[in-house]
Amino acid sequence: MAYRITLIPGDGTGPELVTATRRVLEATGISFDWDVQDAGAAAIEKSGTPLPNEVLTSIQANRVALKGPITTPLGTGFRSVNVALRKALDLYANLRPARSMKGIPIRYDHVDLVVVRENTEDLYAGVEHDVIPNVAAESIRIITRPACERIVRFAFDYARANGRRKVTAVHKANILKFTDGLFLRVAQEIAAEYPDIPFEDRIVDNMCMQLVERPHEYDVIVTTNLFGDILSDLCSGLVGGLGMAPGANIGTELAVFEPVHGSAPKYAGKNKVNPVATILSAVLMLHHLGEHDAAQRVQGAVEQVVVEGHSVTYDLKPTREDPTAVGTQEMADAIIAAMS
Ligand code: NAD
C-alpha cells in the first residue's frame, strides 16, 4: 500500500529541493501517493491566498506532509505561511536535530544536538501593532502554562525514547520574569517527573556562547519559539550550515517535515543548494511512518556521499568557489546511487 503524503514544494529553492528529495524517497522502494499542494507564491497566483484551505484539509486527511520552505515578505505583506500552518494544525513541537558528519569542514567533530522548540506562541503569535506609525510599535509575547508543559514533556519523552543524556531548558528568565519565569518554573516542575533524565537550565545569551565554545556539553535543548529559531540556526552552523539541518513540526495527530532553512531565493532555479536538509527531514518522516530500515538506508547513503566529498554541493566543499561542486540534483543522484 502506498503512503499518501501531502507534498508542498514551496517557494524559491523549495521546488527543486523537494523534487530531489522525492526522487531519493522513491528510490527506497517504498510507494508514495503524493498529494501535491501549493502554498506561498504559487498559491497566491492560483487562488489569491498564500495558504489555501485545501492545504490544511489535505494535511488533516493525510496526517503527514513533506514541505519545502516558503518565502515571507520582510517588514510588510502577508504573515508567515509557515507560522500559520504550524498554528492552524497545532504542530506544537519543532524538532531540529543537528548532528555532525565526517567529511565536512567544520570546527568540531561529534556534535549531536537536538533543539526542541515551542511552535505555537511567544512573539510568533503575531500580536503586534503600531502605537504611532513609523515611530513606535508594540509586540506582545504570549507564554502559557499548557504550551510550556507539553513542549517540556515532549523534550523529556523524546530524550527518554532516544536514549539521550540530558535536557537543558533555555530562557531569559532573569529579564523576562513573567513570560520566561513561567516557562522556567514549568520546566523545573516537569523535570521532576523524569528523575532518570538529568535537567539543567541556561540563560539564552550564555547558551549561545557555550554552544559555540563547548557544544559537546549539550544534548537536548528545550526552549520557547523565538529562542528556538535562533538557536537551531546556530546549531546548524556547528554541523556544516543550513544545508545540513533537518526539521519536523509535530502535533498530537499530524506532522509536517521541512528543513530548518528558508527559501534561499537568490539561488532559486539554479540547481545549486544542498538537498541534504530536506532529505534528512524526509528521513525523520520515514522514522515517523515506522519505515526505520528505509530511513537508515537514506541516512547511510547521505553520510557516504558527504564523507566521500566528491558529489557534494558548494557549501560542503572546503571553499565556496570550488569548481568541483555539483548541483542539487546531481548530489541527489549520488545519494540514490549510494543507496543501491
Ligand atoms: P535562508 O535559510 O533562505 O538562507 C540563509 C542562508 O543560508 C543563505 O546564505 C542561503 O543561501 C543559505 N542556505 C539556505 N538553504 C541552503 C541550502 N539548502 N544549501 C546551502 N545553503 C543554503 O534564510 P533567509 O535568506 O533569511 O530567508 C529567505 C526566505 O525564507 C525568507 O522569506 C524567510 O522568511 C523564509 N524562511 C522560511 C522558512 C520556512 O519555510 N520554514 C524558514 C526560514 C526562513
The string of pLDDT tens digits covering residues 265-313 is 999 999 999 999 999 999 999 999 999 999 999 999 999 999 999 999 9
Ligand 1 center to residue 190 CA distance, Å? 34
Cell match 558529489: residue?
311
What is the rounded distance in angstroms from the CA atom of residue 318 to the CA atom of residue 177? 44
Does residue 258 have its Cβ closer than 6 Å to ligand 1?
yes
**Burial zone of 83 (CB within 10 Å; 0-12 exposed, 13-18 middle, 19+ buried):** middle
Residue nearest to atom 23 of ligand 1 (CA): 262
Residue nearest to atom 11 of ligand 1 (CA): 264
Cell match 532516544: residue?
162
Q: Are strands 112-118 and 128-132 parallel, antiparallel or unpaired?
A: unpaired
Looking at residue 114, its pLDDT comes to 98
H or E, element range at 200? strand 199-203
Grid cell in block for residue 271: 540547481
The model's confidence at residue 167, banded by pLDDT at 50, 70 and 90, is very high
- Report helix angle 292-308 to 276-288, nearest 10: 160
- What's the whole-number mean pLDDT along residues 184-198? 98
Cell match 505555537: residue?
120
Does residue 224 have its Cβ closer than 6 Å to ligand 1?
no
What is the rounded distance in angstroms from the CA atom of residue 302 to the CA atom of residue 336? 9
Q: Which of 74, 81, 89, 263 to mutate to test the pocket of ligand 1 (most atoms within 8 A of CB)?
A: 263
- What's the whole-number mean pLDDT along residues 23-44? 96
Q: Are strands 64-67 and 32-36 parallel, antiparallel or unpaired?
A: unpaired
Does residue 21 have its Cβ closer than 6 Å to ligand 1?
no
Partners of 249 in the beta sheet?
Answer: 94, 256
Question: Is-contact 240 106, C-beta < 8 A?
Answer: yes
- What's the whole-number mean pLDDT along residues 169-183? 97
What is the rounded distance in angstroms from the CA atom of residue 21 to the CA atom of residue 273? 13
What percent of the chain clears pLDDT 70, i.e. is strictly above it?
100
Grid cell in block for residue 13: 529553492
- What's the whole-number mean pLDDT along residues 139-153? 97
Question: Is-contact 299 285, C-beta < 8 A?
Answer: no
Ligand 1 center to residue 107 CA distance, Å? 22
The one-letter amino acid code at 117 reads: R
Q: Nearest CA to 114 among 80, 163, 71?
A: 163
Question: Is-contact 43 309, C-beta < 8 A?
Answer: no
What is the rounded distance in angstroms from the CA atom of residue 112 to the CA atom of residue 110? 6
Q: Which of 83, 242, 315, 316 to mutate to test the pocket of ligand 1 (most atoms within 8 A of CB)?
A: 242
Give me the active site residues, please: 124, 172, 205, 229
- What's the whole-number mean pLDDT along residues 25-33? 98
Ligand 1 center to residue 101 CA distance, Å? 21
Residue nearest to atom 40 of ligand 1 (CA): 69
Ligand 1 center to residue 246 CA distance, Å? 13
Q: Please list, in sequence order, all residues whose beta carbon lies within 8 angstroms of the beta carbon of residue 151, skipping any fewer than 6 positions away.
A: 92, 93, 116, 117, 118, 119, 222
- What's the whole-number mean pLDDT along residues 147-161? 98
> When comparing pLDDT for 196 and 47, which is higher?
196
Partners of 4 in the beta sheet?
Answer: 33
Q: Are strands 248-250 and 93-99 parallel, antiparallel or unpaired?
A: antiparallel
- Which of ligand 1's atoms lies nearest the C-alpha of 69? 40
CB neighbourhood size of 304 (10 A): 16
What is the rounded distance in angstroms from the CA atom of residue 251 to the CA atom of residue 89? 8
Q: Which of 117, 261, 314 to mutate to test the pocket of ligand 1 (most atoms within 8 A of CB)?
A: 261
Does residue 264 have its Cβ closer than 6 Å to ligand 1?
yes
Q: Are strands 248-250 and 255-257 parallel, antiparallel or unpaired?
A: antiparallel
